[in-house]
Amino acid sequence: MKRKFICIIFAAALLVSACGRKSNNESNKSEDLPHQSIQYDYDAQVFFDVYSSKIISTDKGYYYFDYSYKKAKNPSYDIYLMFFDRATKKASPVCSREGCNHTRKDNCDALFSWRNEDNRVSDANELWYYDGYLYATLVETDGSLCLYRISMDGSERTKYTTIFEDGVDIGYNMICHRGYIYITYSGERKEQLYRLKIEKNAEKELVYEETYDDYDLWFGDLTSYKNGAAFCKYIYSYNDQTTKCEIVCYNPESKKLEKLLEGKDFDSFFIDNKNIYYSVGNEIFVYDIDLNVSRPFYECDHSVYISYDGRYVYAEVSAASLRDYNEHYIYVINKEGGLVDTIQAPASQDCYFGDDYYLFQMFDLNEELNDKSDMPMIKAYDKSQLGTGSHEWTDLPLPN
Q: For 134-138, 240-244, 323-327, 340-344, which range has the lowest pLDDT when averaged over its residues?
A: 323-327
Return the minimum-mean-pLDDT range out of 18-27, 117-126, 130-139, 184-193: 18-27
Distance between CA 78 and CA 111 in Å, rounded?
7
Q: Report how far residue 251's alpha carbon sits from residue 44's, in angstroms, rounded to the nearest whole number.
A: 16
The count of other CB atoms within 10 Å of the CB of residue 287 is: 21
CA neighbor of 176 nearest in space, from 22, 48, 355: 48
How does residue 234 score in pLDDT terms, banded at 50, 70 and 90?
A: very high
List, for residues 54-87, the tens digit of each pLDDT value.
889 998 999 998 876 554 334 456 788 999 999 9
Phi/psi of residue 385, each to 5°?
-75, -15
Q: Let me know the angle formed at the C-alpha of 168 by 166 and 171, rounded to the nearest 5 degrees.
A: 95
| pTM for this predicted structure | 0.85
Neighbours of 305 (CB within 10 A): 24
| CATH architecture of the domain with residue range 274-400 | 7 Propeller (2.130)
Digit-coded pLDDT (tens) for 160-198:
999 998 766 667 899 999 999 999 999 889 999 999 999
Report whether pLDDT(11) > 70: no
Q: Got the DSSP string for 263-314?
A: ES--SEEEEETTEEEEEETTEEEEEETTTTEEEEEEE-SS-EEEEE-SSEEE
For the cut 60, the answer to whether the pLDDT of residue 7 exceeds it is no
Mean pLDDT of the chain: 81
Q: What is the pLDDT of residues 281-299, one digit of tens each?
A: 999 999 999 999 999 999 9
